[in-house]
């Protein structure tokens, strides 16, 4: 939900970082892998209960993840493979953090399992909705290389949720049901939107045939 706004402002405030990437001859795909590596280190910090360090490293990894595409566009290195790699590494990052949370807070094992299951549905529904929008010629609202349908729980919301888990772990009994509900709502809303888009497309097609 907040990702679109973030993607609009990030290029403005990341110019010096992009210049640093170029100076160090870092490619977009290397930045993507560094972001994934950062998520692994954050998950390790979670597992050993170094929560403050985990929050810092997690957001550093997300900055890397958010700027790989900017670097690609600035240097003319955009590619379908880069877009593919980005989403795969993103889902690895989100998933490995849940593994870290499970190691640190095993009493909530069923919630961590449900969240991983919900992530599967979230990314599947996002990709499927993006594909449906493309097939129906719905205008794309962002400049991502791989088209994803929007939803309530996206990258920004996930990062905020993880930060809340880490800063206030004593309230996990409250945060986890809330986050699980948000993920479930995201999937349902995408299914509903897909149905509405298909219905609208069918209605327009029926009107066109009637006019003909």
pLDDT at 6 over 60: yes
Alpha carbon distance 5, 180 (integer Å): 24
Neighbouring C-alpha atoms within 13 Å toward the C-beta of 199: 6
CA distance 151 to 133: 14
d(CA 38, CA 158): 16
- Residue 136: what pLDDT? 84
Q: How far is CA 26 from CA 65, 80, 86, 106, 165, in A?
A: 13, 18, 15, 38, 33
pLDDT score for 207: 63
Q: Which CATH class is domain 3-211?
A: mainly alpha
Determine if residue 79 is left, alpha or beta; phi over 0 gives left, psi from -120 to 50 gives alpha, anything else beta.
Answer: beta
pLDDT digits (tens, 9 = 90+) for 123-162: 999 888 888 888 887 776 665 555 566 666 788 899 999 9
Model pTM?
0.88
Nearest Cα to Cα of residue 143 among 28, 3, 2: 3
Q: Can you count the helices (H) and strands (E) in the chain?
A: 8, 0
pLDDT in tens, 69-100: 999 999 999 998 998 999 999 999 999 999 99
Report domain extents, the chain: 3-211
Residue 147 CA: distances (Å) to CA of 8, 78, 89, 123, 129: 16, 14, 16, 11, 9
Radius of gyration of the chain (CA): 19
């Amino acid at each position: 939900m907040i990702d679109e706004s973030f993607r609009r402002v990030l290029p403005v405030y990341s110019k010096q970082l992009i210049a640093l990437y170029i100076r160090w001859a870092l490619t977009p795909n290397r930045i993507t892998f560094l972001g994934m590596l950062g998520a692994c280190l954050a998950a390790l910090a979670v597992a050993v209960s170094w929560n403050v360090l985990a929050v810092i490293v997690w957001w550093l990894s997300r900055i890397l993840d958010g700027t790989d595409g900017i670097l690609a566009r600035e240097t003319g290195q955009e590619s379908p493979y880069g877009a593919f790699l980005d989403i795969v590494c993103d889902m690895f990052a989100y998933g490995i953090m849940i593994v870290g949370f499970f190691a640190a807070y095993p009493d909530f094992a069923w919630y961590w399992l449900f969240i991983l299951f919900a992530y599967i549905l979230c990314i599947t529904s996002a990709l499927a909705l993006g594909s449906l929008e493309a097939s129906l010629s719905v205008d794309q609202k962002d400049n991502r290389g791989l088209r994803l349908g929007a939803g309530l729980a996206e990258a920004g919301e996930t990062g905020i949720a993880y930060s809340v888990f880490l800063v206030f772990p004593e309230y996990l009994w409250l945060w986890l049901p809330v986050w699980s509900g948000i993920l479930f709502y995201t999937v349902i809303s995408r299914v509903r939107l897909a149905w509405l888009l298909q219905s609208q497309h069918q209605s327009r097609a029926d009107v066109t045939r009637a006019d003909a």
